[in-house]
Structures are given as C-alpha cells and as structure tokens.
C-alpha cells in the first residue's frame, strides 16, 4: 500500500466528493432520528496543505485554493468552505462528517494503511460518537450492515492502486445489496485517460435507483495522463437531490475545469431489472 491521500488532499476531486458528501449528511439530518455514517477508506482525516506531500503535487492549488479565491460563493457552498479548509489544514471525509454530526449520530471510520490509521485516530480524538478501525474495507463493510440505526450513508472512496480494485468493489457491493439494499451508498471512481473505471461496471449489479455524476476538468485523450475527472455513484439517492446538486456542481465545474471542451453531468437512473 503506497497511496497516501496527503499528495492529493484538497484537489478538484476532493472538492467535488466532499461537497456532495456534505449535502447528503445535511439531508440525513433533516430527520430527528440518528444516522450512521461509514467511511470505508477514511485516509488520515486531516491534511496540512503546507506539508511536503501537498507541496510536491500542488493539487490543492487547482482545487480548494482556486475555489477559495472566488468570491462571493454560492450559499450552498458556505458550510463546506467554512469547515473544510482552516488556515493550512484541509479536512478529509472523516472529519467533515464528524464536525457535521450530532452527538446521537454514529460515525464508523476504517483505514487499512497503518500510518494513516494512526493519524486518523489522533485526528478524531475527542469525538465521542466516532469509532476507528484498521481493517480491509471490503471484508469489514458487509459485516457492519445493516447498521442498527437503519438509516445512514456509506462512503466508499478507494485508492485504486490495486489492479483488482473494481472486482473487490463489485463483490463487496453485491454483498452490501443483500444485507442492506435500502442504504445510501456514495462511491468515488477516478477518470484517468481512456477511463478504466466505469460506473456501469458497478451498476450491472442492479440497483433500484441510482444517480451518477461525471465531472471532467479536461477532455479525455490518450495524451492527457493522470486524473482528468471523477465519477460518483450514489445508490438510493434522496428524492430530488439532483436539483440541489445541479447548481452546486455547475458552479464547481465553472471554477475548476481546465479545458473548455470538458463537461460534467448528473443523471438519475432506475433499474428495470429490479422488481
Ligand atoms: C482516497 S483515500 C481516502 C480519502 C478520504 N475518504 C477523504 O475523502 O478524505 C483512500 C484511502 O484508502 C486506504 N485504503 C486502500 N486500500 C484499502 C483497503 N482495502 N481497506 C481500507 N483502506 C484502504 C488508503 O490507505 C487511503 O488512505
């Protein structure tokens, strides 16, 4: 395991993923009853943007810093911008979720990399509703489902350094659908070059309703190595969440894209295979 999220913290893909995540947590808080948030690939939780990894790639310059320079911001982004980046620190999904949660909500974090796990444990110290685990995400997640709260969100945000990642993801999601088909699942996929990680490889599993987001900052080309976009798959999207996400993502695309010919999209799908 070589991947360290510190090299990419606060990049355009983090901005997209974390703003969508906050909208979903906000939706879950509209009900008084508690929810459970599970982050299967949690990372360190908090990243110092002046530290060497981030300085080496300067990805945050094209992500969170670019966004922070634009003013005024749309109201919907205010919560994210107020908590995600304070001084030199950028918060990852675990701390964003912890900061937004109510004491009654339960947060389960998992991270397999030993150093990231230790950093994560330290970074969430003091949150009494947070538990941290050091397991393999794909064997850990199905065993947790369904959560006792019977409502909540699972974030699956892999590093994609394992050649078998998609196979693990498909096998894991298939089990999750048997154990908790009503759950809300947000899955992040990279778009690189000719795109090896296709959302439709996951949707073959068969979900009653799902939403897909494709967000490109550059046009696909074999000459453009590296990350040129990202996809999000949201299984069981809340009613009309797309109408909230649309203006938000459109604004983010206006700020973050590098190539005018690139595009973004949001679509809601229903699967006729499911009865
Ligand atoms: C993209 S980063 C997570 C970023 C984090 N979710 C955020 O948004 O702030 C992916 C993380 O998954 C961890 N990881 C990789 N393979 C894993 C596995 N099989 N089980 C659990 N964690 C894993 C990596 O060490 C890395 O920290």
Output the domain CATH number for residue 165: 3.40.50.150
User: Residues near ligand 1 with C-beta < 6 Å?
Assistant: 1, 3, 5, 17, 39, 41-43, 92-93, 110-113, 116, 136-137, 157-159
Which ligand 1 atom is the nearest neighbour of the CA of 162?
16
pTM above 0.85, yes or no: yes
Rounded to 10 deg, the angle between the 12-28 and 93-100 helix axes is 30
Is residue 227 in a domain? yes
Low-confidence ranges of the chain (pLDDT < 50): none
Is residue 193 in a domain? yes
Is residue 4 in a domain? no
- Return the number of other C-beta atoms located less than 10 Å from residue 70's C-beta: 13
pLDDT at 274: 58
Is residue 213 in a domain? yes
Is residue 10 in a domain? no
pLDDT tens per residue across span 35-78:
999 999 999 999 999 998 888 889 999 999 999 999 889 999 99
Which residues constitute the domain of residue 179?
23-270
pLDDT at 224: 67
**Protein residue with least CA distance to atom 25, ligand 1:** 113
pLDDT at 272: 55
As for how many domains the chain has, the answer is 1
- Say whether the peptide bond before residue 72 is cis (omega within 30 degrees of 0): yes
Is residue 212 in a domain? yes
Angle value at C-alpha 266, between 19 and 187, nearest 5 degrees: 55
Is residue 54 in a domain? yes
């Amino acid at each position: 395991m070589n991947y360290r999220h510190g090299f990419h913290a606060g990049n355009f893909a983090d901005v997209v993923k974390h703003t969508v995540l906050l909208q979903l947590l906000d939706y879950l808080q509209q009900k008084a009853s508690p929810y459970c948030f599970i982050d299967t690939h949690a990372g360190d939780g908090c990243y110092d943007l002046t530290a060497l990894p981030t300085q080496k790639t300067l990805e945050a310059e094209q992500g969170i810093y670019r966004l922070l320079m634009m003013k005024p911001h749309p109201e919907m982004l205010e919560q994210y911008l107020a908590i995600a980046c304070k001084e030199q620190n950028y918060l990852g999904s675990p701390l964003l979720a912890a900061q937004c949660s109510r004491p009654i909500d339960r947060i389960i974090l998992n991270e397999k990399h030993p150093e990231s796990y230790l950093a994560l444990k330290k970074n969430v110290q003091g949150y009494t509703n947070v538990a941290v685990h050091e397991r393999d995400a794909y064997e850990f997640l199905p065993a947790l489902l369904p959560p006792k709260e019977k409502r909540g969100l699972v974030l699956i945000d892999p590093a994609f350094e394992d050649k078998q990642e998609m196979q693990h993801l498909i096998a894991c999601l298939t089990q999750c659908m048997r154990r908790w088909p009503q759950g809300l699942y947000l899955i992040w996929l990279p778009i690189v070059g000719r795109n090896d990680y296709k959302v439709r490889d996951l949707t073959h599993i068969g979900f009653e309703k799902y939403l897909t987001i494709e967000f490109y900052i550059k046009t696909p080309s074999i000459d453009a190595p590296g990350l040129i976009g990202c996809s999000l798959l949201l299984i069981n999207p809340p009613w009309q969440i797309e109408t909230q996400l649309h203006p938000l993502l459109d604004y983010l695309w206006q700020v973050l894209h590098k190539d005018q010919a690139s595009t973004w999209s949001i679509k809601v799908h229903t699967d006729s295979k499911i009865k």
